[in-house]
Amino acid sequence: MQTELSSTLGVEHAVFGFTPFPAVAAAITRAGGFGVLGAVRYAAADDLARDLDWMQEHTDGLPYGLDVVMPAKKVEGVTEADIEAMIPEEHRAFVERTLDKHGVPPLPEGAAPGWRITGWMEQVARSQLDVAFDYPIKLLANALGSPPGDIVQRAHDHGILVAALAGSPRHARHHKEAGIDIVVAQGYEAGGHTGEIATMVLTPEVVRAVDPLPVLAAGGIGTGEQIAAGLALGAQGVWLGSVWLTTEEAELHSPRLTRKLLAAGPGDTVRSRALTGKPARQLRTEWTDAWDDPAGPGPLPMPLQGLLVADALSRIQKYETEPLLGTPVGQIVGQMNNTRSVQAVFDDLTRGFERAIDRINRIAGRV
């Protein structure tokens, strides 16, 4: 599966795998794809350096990338405490009521506080990048908005391509103007932050909007047939995130969550603002239902919501409170029905792709 972009990056298959787990990212790269490690969960730059060291040792000199969350808009001098102070008491009480209803215990005395989505803060993302530029990464992806111009310049100075996610042709044009190299067209059916336009329509619209920049199709892709469809729509590669969540290498650390993912159908996700304040597709749970209930206070805007729910999500995850337990995941969750190694998933992807090409050639009368 070779496109101009996969040749440029030196990978065998134009399959980009996004994951928060170094072991998964490295396995994707070793399998002939392009592993992209999500950096948003690294609050400490040292932790990121440790995991990038590990990636270097486990990727056999093959290329991989890093995904950060760096908003183009700066908020000068605003600290996490300033943001915390903006959260209404009503919302804090709603969090506690919802947890109490399901008997979720507090975190043990002295436990680390909940993981905060602090990657949105530019200073955190910049400290991550200071680390990342010391490693031979080949791609820097930005998950929200266009990256700032000086970061694009620094990446280019290091010979690193810059990618950015877009949910509409307008966002994609903005990325092109910001000097980025690759647009990831993230459709409605994708896990995580998404817009309302489905991959089938979004991909060709973005291809036209940013021509001649290469576009990756994201959202709804978890089989070789779906890869063939994404590439038929004009993409130079595909971007897969959800499918790795149930691999053997994924470090979810929650058997109950893995079971929920394996059991879920295609209609068991919801696009909700419950997680970050912006619409993000995730498993539908009693937690998302509570936030989406018109009778409740509703989610706060980003970044308030992420800070508000950080400790609560840690508690739900630690105690695996089944009805509330969720994760960002796309509509392909209905196709994720067993636990396999990353290599086994990759083999299925390439075999399914070849089957789809055979079939469509028969339909086109090319055999």
Positions that interact with its own copies (CB under 8 A)? 1-3, 14, 168-169, 187-189, 195-202, 204-205, 219-221, 223, 225-226, 228-234, 265-267, 294, 330-332, 334-335, 353-354, 356-357, 359-361, 363-366
Cα–Cα dist 48/127, whole Å: 10
Which residue type sits at 115? Answer: W
Cα–Cα dist 309/116, whole Å: 9
- List the one residue out of 146, 3, 5 whose CA is nearest residue 65: 5
Nearest distance from C-beta of residue 185 to its own copies, angstroms:
11
Nearest distance from C-beta of residue 12 to its own copies, angstroms:
11
| Nearer to its own copies (CB atom), residue 220 or residue 303 | 220
Instruction: From residue 338, give the alpha-carbon distance in Å to each of 4, 20, 239.
Output: 33, 20, 21
Cα–Cα dist 275/255, whole Å: 21
| Nearer to its own copies (CB atom), residue 14 or residue 125 | 14
Nearest distance from C-beta of residue 332 to its own copies, angstroms:
6
| Nearer to its own copies (CB atom), residue 127 or residue 168 | 168
Nearest distance from C-beta of residue 37 to its own copies, angstroms:
25
Nearest distance from C-beta of residue 173 to its own copies, angstroms:
12
| Nearer to its own copies (CB atom), residue 127 or residue 335 | 335
| Nearer to its own copies (CB atom), residue 49 or residue 200 | 200
| Nearer to its own copies (CB atom), residue 8 or residue 335 | 335
Cα–Cα dist 152/350, whole Å: 33
The answer to whether 167 and 183 have CB atoms below 8 angstroms apart is no
| Nearer to its own copies (CB atom), residue 132 or residue 270 | 270
Nearest distance from C-beta of residue 362 to its own copies, angstroms:
8
Nearest distance from C-beta of residue 129 to its own copies, angstroms:
32
Which residue type sits at 108? Answer: P
Residue 349 exposure: Cα atoms within 13 Å on the Cβ side:
29
325 CA to centre of own chain:
18
* Token reading at 254: 């929650």
Helices assigned H by DSSP within the chain: 4-9, 22-30, 45-57, 80-85, 89-101, 122-132, 149-157, 169-177, 199-210, 224-232, 255-263, 286-292, 304-318, 342-363
Residues in the chain: 367
Nearest distance from C-beta of residue 90 to its own copies, angstroms:
19
User: For residue 340, what is the DSSP state?
Assistant: B
Nearest distance from C-beta of residue 71 to its own copies, angstroms:
21
Cα–Cα dist 18/219, whole Å: 12
* Token reading at 126: 């910049």
| Nearer to its own copies (CB atom), residue 106 or residue 265 | 265
| Nearer to its own copies (CB atom), residue 2 or residue 79 | 2
Instruction: From residue 190, give the alpha-carbon distance in Å to each of 269, 328, 334.
Output: 10, 9, 13
